[in-house]
Structure 1
Amino acid sequence: MVALAATTALVLSACGGGGGGSAGGGTGDVSGGAPPAEGNDINPVDYAQVRDGGDFFWAISSLPPQYNYHQLDGTERDNKNIIDSFMPEIMKGDAQSQYQIDPNYLESAEVTSEDPQVITYKLNPEAAWNSGRPIDWTDFEAQWKALNGSNAAYTVSSTTGYDVIQSVAQGATPQEVVVTFSSKFADWKGNFLPLYPRETMSDPAVFNDGWRNGPLDGAGPFKLEQIDNTAKRVTVVKNEKWWGEPAKLDRIVYVALDSSAQPEAYANGTLSVLEIGPSVSTFQRAQQVPDTVIRTAKGPNFRHITFNGAPTSILADPALRLAIMKGIDRNILTQSQIGPIVPDAKPLGNHLFVEGQAGYEDHSGVVAFDPEKAKSELDALGWTLQGDVRAKDGQQLAIRDVIPTGTPVSEAEAKIVQQQLAAIGVQVNIESVPLDNFFEQFVYVGNFDITHFSWLGTPSPISSASGIYRLTPDSVDQNYGRIGNDKINELLVQANAELDPVRQAEIINEIDQEVWNLGHSLLQYQRPDAWAVKPNVANFGAKGFADYDYTKIGFTA
C-alpha cells in the first residue's frame, strides 16, 4: 500500500503488492453519486490515435526522499507515480483489480508446481536495463535476498511475499526465472513489483542510500532527465533505449506544489491535470475551470486515523483507544469531507477490503459513534473529568494529532476530531509539521499520538497490507502505530498461504475483526479517485484499481 497524507497527493503505498493496469469505462460525473464499483475513467484512446510529443505537467506534494520504492522511505505515492515511469512493473493490475503480465517484461508467469509452489517467469528477451545489461534471473534473486528479512542491514518497507520464498534459480536460460516457495503464497503476482537491478539489491548501502538523490538505473519507457531541487521538479524524458512501443509524450514534469496551490496552477495552465481526491474546495474550483472534464472511479484507497499504541504512548491501552474512537463520528467526517463529491458516501468498514472488492464486510460496529458509552468507558478506565479534560494519576488525557502543513483535508479532519473528543473530555492538540518530512520524521518513527493520511491499496489486499497490521519485535514494516498481536500475525500467514479465494476472504475478515478489536486505526472513507483534466488528455485520469500505461498517456490534439 501507499500512504496518502492529505488532500490530493500525500499517500503511502502498502508494500508487498504492486499496482494496477489500464482498462476503461466508467462515468465522469462526480456530482451524480458514488463512483462505479468497477472500471475506471481515463478517456481510453488507441495508441495510434494519441498525438506524438508534448510535455505533461503532473503535481506532487514534495520531491521524493528516496527513489528505491522497497526502502522504508520510498513508499509515498508521489514516489510511486514517478518510479513507475522508468522502473519495471512486470505485472499490472487492471480495472477489475486483477494482475496481468506486462508483455514488455514478461512472456509468461505461471504456476508450474503446486506442492511445493513454484512460479516460472519467462522474461521478454529484449528487456534490458538502461546500463545495457539484460534483465535476468539474478535480478529476481537479489531482490528476494534483500527483501526476505534475513539481513537486518536492509531497511525494507515490507518482507511479505519474499519471506516465504525458498529459492530463486535460473531455468533453461538466464531469462527464465524459477521461484520456489517454502509455503503456499496466494498473492505471488504481487511480488517483484517494481523490479530493481541486482546492483541495487546486492549491497545494503546502495539499497538504503544509493537512490536518495535519484535513480541509478532504469528499464522503462522514460528515463530521468533532471532533478531540480530549486524549482522542485523531477523531469523524465522518453527513453531511447526502451524496446517497447515508444512513449507518446516527450517528457513528464513532476512539479512539487502545496495542495492548496495546485487548483490555481491547473486553472492557469501550469499543470496538465489536477487530482481532486477528497478535497471539496479543489472539486469546486475545478468545476469553474473552462474546458475541464471531471473523471472519477472507485479505487482501493482510503483515509484513516492511525493511533499510536507503542508501550510509551499515552494510547498504549487498547481499551482506551476503543473508548476514544467511540467519541468520533465517522459519518460527520465522511460527509463533511467528500459529501459534495460523493453524496451517498458512507464510512469504510474494513481495513483490508474496500467496497467494490469481493469479500468486503463491515466490522466497524465495535467503534460505533456513542459518546455516552465513550464517557462511561473512560470513567471505568480511571480517566475521570477534572475540569474540561480527563486525567488519571496526575496525567491529562491530552493527545497529539500530528498533521502536515498546507493540507486542508487533514486540517479539517483534525478540527472535527478535536471538537468531538472535547465533548467527551479528551484534549486534542493539533500539531502541524512540515509537509516535506511529515512521513520521514513523524509517521515512520512513531512521533505522534494520532495522525491522518491515506493508504493506497493494490490488487493484492492481503499481501500488500500485511506489513501494516503485522507486529514484530525487530521490524516496524508499515505498522507505524506498533499495534498488533500474535493472532493477527498467525492469521496473516494463513491468509497469504490460502489459495482458495473464498476461504482466503473468510480469513481476511477474521483479521479485520481483530484489527478493529485492538483499536489499530479508525477508518474514515474510501477515498474518491477524482481528477480534473482537459478533454484532450488521453489514457489518464481516474484509474480506479488499475495502473497507468505510461506509453499511452498523451494528448489527442
Structure 2
Amino acid sequence: MNALRRRGLGWAAVAAVVALVLAGCGGGGGAGSAGNASGGAALSGNDINPVDPARLRNGGDFLWPIDSLPPQFNFNQVDGTAAGNRAIIGAMLPSIFRGDAKGVLQPDPNYLTSAEVTGTNPQVVTYAINPKAVWSDGRPLDWTDFDAQFTALNGTNPAYQVAGTTGYSDIATVAPGANPQEVVVTFKHNFADWRALFSPLYPKSTNSDPNAFNTGWVGRPQAISAGPFRFDSVDQTAKRLTLVRNDKWWGAPPKLDRIIYVALDPAAQPEAFANGSLSFVDIGPSVSAFQRAQQVPGAVIRTSNGPNYRHITFNGAPGAILSDPALRLAIMRGIDREVITRSQIGPIIPNAEPLGNHIYVQGLEGYQDNSGVVAYDPQKAKSELDALGWRQQGSVRVKDGKPLVIRDVIPSATPVSEAEAKIVQQQLAAIGVQVDIQTVPTDNFFSQYVNVGNFDITHFSWLGTQTPISSSSGIYRTGDGVEQNYGRIGNQKINDLLNQANAELDPAKQRALANELDQEIWNVGHSLLLYQRPDAVAVRNDVANFGAFGFADVDYTKIGFTR
C-alpha cells in the first residue's frame, strides 16, 4: 500500500504507494531489531490468526497485492530491493534465519541444522546445511552457494551492481568444512549481525557471474527455487505473477496451491479487496483504506507493532540545491512532524508520536528520541535562512538571484505521499521555501528518480529488519558507491561509527554506539523521519496464519484458509 524499500542486508527494506516501501540492505528476516547482539526485543507480538495447518483447507489461491511488478528479481541487486520483490522471493528462495514475533532471529531448520560462532579473533561462524535442502534442479545446497554470494556482494568487483556490501565486506573467506554441507565463514573483522547474511540465498549460478547477477533475474524470476513455492508465470498485461507449489520442496507442504501477486496502484487496492479481488490489503498509514476496510463484510483488521517507517529523504549531492547541511537543517525545522503524524495516522493510532531515531524504531530496546536538532521552530528556521543569505523576496527566498525552490518527487496513485507533500508544501511556504510537487509514475519512481538522485526531497517508507544497524549501513554510509544512500549525505564520522557498531558484540555498547550514530545522522541533515508506519492489515476472515506480522517473518507454508 505504500512505496516501501528494504533497508540494507538481506531482508532489510521501502514503503510508498498508499506509501511506497523499500527494504534496507542489511539484515536477515524483515522486521525490527532482533533480541540478540543487534538490539532488543519488540514490545509485542503479532496478529495473524494462528491456526494449526492440519486444520486448514488444502489448496486455494492467495491473491497478494503489490504496487508494481518488480523490474528486477535479484533482491541483492541495486534495482531489486522493492517490497513486492521481497514478498515474491521470500516464497521461493532460502532465508536461513527467520525472525519470530519478538524479532529474534533463529535458524530455519528447513535450511540449517545448526549455525554458531565457532571461533573468535578472528570471528568464525560455522553453518550446517540441512542435508535434505536442494535446489529445484536437484543440486543440493552447499558451501559453494555461500561462497558465490560472498564473492558477488563483498564489494571487490564493481561489475556486480549490488544493493549493499555490509557484512559481506567483513568476510575474509568462505570454505567447506567436514563436507560440502558444512560452511565455514571466517571474518576479517567482527560482525555482530552475522545472522543477517545469506538471506535471501541465491543459487551460485546467479552470483558466479556479474552479467547473470545483474540481468539474469530482470523481468521475471528464474525457474530455480529452494523454497516451498516456485515461479510459474508472469503476465505483464494483466500485471500478475504466479507461484505454484515446488514439488522438490522437502519441508512441510504448503497449504496453498498458488500465490498470485497482483500489481495494482495502491489507491485502487482497498476497493479491489472490498470486491473480492484480493485476499488482503496492507492498510499501513492510510486512513481512507482503514475506513474502507471497516465497511467490508467478512473482513477483519489485524494490527501489531511494526518496524517500518515513513521519512523524507533529502538530496545533498554536490551541486544540488540542498547540498549545504545548514540549509537542510533550517528547512527541516520548518516542518511540523507532529502535524503530519496526527493527520496521517491519528485515526488509526490516536496517540502516535513522530519517530526520533534512524536506527531503532519505537518499541525496541535502544530506542531514544535524538531528533531535538530538528525540533519544529519556524522562527529559528527563518533566522537561519536569513543568515545563510536566503532573503525573503515576495513569497519566496532568493540567494544570488536564485529562488529557494525545491522539487518534491512523489509516486503517482500514492495518497499518503501526496498528503505528506501537500502539508510540507504549505508549512515551508510559511518560511519562504517554495515546494514544487512532481508526481511520477509508480513503476519507475525508484529506478528513474530515487535511485539516481533525481529529486530534491522525496517520500517513501523504509522496511525495518531484525538487524537495524547493519541494515542501515548502506543508507547512511558514504564512499565509492551510492548503495541506498540516495541523497548522497554523510561523513567519515558516520562511516566510523557504523564500522564500530557493526563490530561490537556487546549489546549494551552497541546500542550506545548506535545512538551516537543516530545523533550524527540528525546533525548532518540526512533525512527527516516522520512516523512509524502502522502495521495494519485487512484480511478475509477465513485467512489463517497471515496478517500483521510485526517483527516476524512470513511462513509461506502455513498461509491458508479455514475449512
- The equivalent of 2:163 in structure 1 is 157
Distance, in Å, in 1 between the alignment partners of 2:21 and 2:137 is: 31
- The equivalent of 2:86 in structure 1 is 80
> Residues 384 and 390 of structure 1 are in contact (CA less than 8 Å); yes or no, is this contact kept in structure 2?
yes
- The equivalent of 1:30 in structure 2 is none
Residues 1:50 and 1:170: Cα distance change in structure 2 (over 3 Å)? same
Structure 1 residues 422-442: Cα deviation after superposition (integer angstroms, max 9, x where no partner):
000000000000100000000
Structure 1 residues 148-203: Cα deviation after superposition (integer angstroms, max 9, x where no partner):
00000000000000001010000000000000001110000000010011110010
Structure 1 residues 228-282: Cα deviation after superposition (integer angstroms, max 9, x where no partner):
0000001001111101111100001000111111111111101011110000000
> Residues 110 and 120 of structure 1 are in contact (CA less than 8 Å); yes or no, is this contact kept in structure 2?
yes
After TM superposition, give the deviation of residue 379 of structure 1 in Å. 0.2
1:98-497 paired onto structure 2 within 5 Å: 98-216=104-222, 217-472=224-479, 474-497=480-503
1:528 paired with 2:538, answer no
1:96 paired with 2:112, answer no
Helix, strand or coil for the counterpart of 1:131? coil
Q: Which runs of 5+ in 2 are unaligned?
A: 1-6, 33-41
Distance, in Å, in 2 between the alignment partners of 1:538 and 1:53 is: 13
> Residues 400 and 430 of structure 1 are in contact (CA less than 8 Å); yes or no, is this contact kept in structure 2?
yes
After TM superposition, give the deviation of residue 6 of structure 1 in Å. 2.3
- The equivalent of 1:4 in structure 2 is 14
- The equivalent of 2:44 in structure 1 is 38
Distance, in Å, in 1 between the alignment partners of 2:533 and 2:204 is: 36
1:57 paired with 2:67, answer no
- The equivalent of 1:14 in structure 2 is 24
> Residues 276 and 283 of structure 1 are in contact (CA less than 8 Å); yes or no, is this contact kept in structure 2?
yes
After TM superposition, give the deviation of residue 330 of structure 1 in Å. 0.1
- The equivalent of 2:3 in structure 1 is none
Distance, in Å, in 2 between the alignment partners of 1:375 and 1:279 is: 32
> Residues 104 and 466 of structure 2 are in contact (CA less than 8 Å); yes or no, is this contact kept in structure 1?
yes
User: Taking structure 2 as the reference length, what is the TM-score of the superposition?
Assistant: 0.95
1:504-515 paired onto structure 2 within 5 Å: 504-515=510-521
Distance, in Å, in 2 between the alignment partners of 1:375 and 1:552 is: 55
1:231 maps to a residue whose letter is A
Distance, in Å, in 1 between the alignment partners of 2:108 and 2:559 is: 16
> Residues 9 and 275 of structure 1 are in contact (CA less than 8 Å); yes or no, is this contact kept in structure 2?
no
Helix, strand or coil for the counterpart of 2:92? coil
Equivalenced residue count is 543
Distance, in Å, in 2 between the alignment partners of 1:114 and 1:40 is: 36
Distance, in Å, in 2 between the alignment partners of 1:408 and 1:143 is: 38
After TM superposition, give the deviation of residue 208 of structure 1 in Å. 0.4
Structure 1 residues 277-320: Cα deviation after superposition (integer angstroms, max 9, x where no partner):
00000000000001211101112100000000001100000000
1:413 maps to a residue whose letter is E
Distance, in Å, in 2 between the alignment partners of 1:132 and 1:213 is: 24
1:90 maps to a residue whose letter is I
Distance, in Å, in 2 between the alignment partners of 1:37 and 1:276 is: 21
Distance, in Å, in 1 between the alignment partners of 2:319 and 2:253 is: 53
Helix, strand or coil for the counterpart of 2:340? helix
2:183 maps to a residue whose letter is V
- The equivalent of 1:26 in structure 2 is none
> Residues 116 and 182 of structure 1 are in contact (CA less than 8 Å); yes or no, is this contact kept in structure 2?
yes
Distance, in Å, in 1 between the alignment partners of 2:135 and 2:73 is: 16
After TM superposition, give the deviation of residue 37 of structure 1 in Å. 3.1
Distance, in Å, in 2 between the alignment partners of 1:50 and 1:68 is: 32
Distance, in Å, in 1 between the alignment partners of 2:115 and 2:532 is: 32
Helix, strand or coil for the counterpart of 1:487? helix
User: Taking structure 1 as the reference length, what is the TM-score of the superposition?
Assistant: 0.96
2:486 maps to a residue whose letter is Y
Identity of aligned residues (%): 68
After TM superposition, give the deviation of residue 7 of structure 1 in Å. 4.1
After TM superposition, give the deviation of residue 3 of structure 1 in Å. 4.8
Distance, in Å, in 2 between the alignment partners of 1:9 and 1:522 is: 16
2:270 maps to a residue whose letter is P
Distance, in Å, in 2 between the alignment partners of 1:402 and 1:499 is: 40
1:492-503 paired onto structure 2 within 5 Å: 492-503=498-509
Two-structure CA RMSD over aligned residues (Å): 1.1
Residues 1:21 and 1:14: Cα distance change in structure 2 (over 3 Å)? closer
> Residues 281 and 539 of structure 2 are in contact (CA less than 8 Å); yes or no, is this contact kept in structure 1?
yes
Q: Where has structure 1 moved over 6 Å in runs of 4 or more?
A: none
Distance, in Å, in 2 between the alignment partners of 1:312 and 1:284 is: 44
Distance, in Å, in 2 between the alignment partners of 1:439 and 1:551 is: 31
- The equivalent of 2:39 in structure 1 is none
Residues 1:188 and 1:504: Cα distance change in structure 2 (over 3 Å)? same
Helix, strand or coil for the counterpart of 1:100? strand
Distance, in Å, in 1 between the alignment partners of 2:482 and 2:395 is: 36
Distance, in Å, in 2 between the alignment partners of 1:20 and 1:465 is: 13
Distance, in Å, in 1 between the alignment partners of 2:308 and 2:266 is: 18
Structure 1 residues 68-105: Cα deviation after superposition (integer angstroms, max 9, x where no partner):
00000000011100110101011111111110111100
Q: 1:67 aligns with which of 66, 73, 80?
A: 73
2:317 maps to a residue whose letter is A
> Residues 297 and 542 of structure 1 are in contact (CA less than 8 Å); yes or no, is this contact kept in structure 2?
yes
Structure 1 residues 465-500: Cα deviation after superposition (integer angstroms, max 9, x where no partner):
11000011x200100000000000000000000000
Distance, in Å, in 2 between the alignment partners of 1:191 and 1:525 is: 28
- The equivalent of 1:32 in structure 2 is none
After TM superposition, give the deviation of residue 4 of structure 1 in Å. 2.8
Distance, in Å, in 2 between the alignment partners of 1:262 and 1:191 is: 33
1:503 maps to a residue whose letter is K
1:4 maps to a residue whose letter is V
Structure 1 residues 32-89: Cα deviation after superposition (integer angstroms, max 9, x where no partner):
xxxx932000111112122210100011000011110000000001110011010101
After TM superposition, give the deviation of residue 5 of structure 1 in Å. 4.1
Helix, strand or coil for the counterpart of 1:293? strand
Structure 1 residues 431-471: Cα deviation after superposition (integer angstroms, max 9, x where no partner):
00010000000000000000000000100010011100001
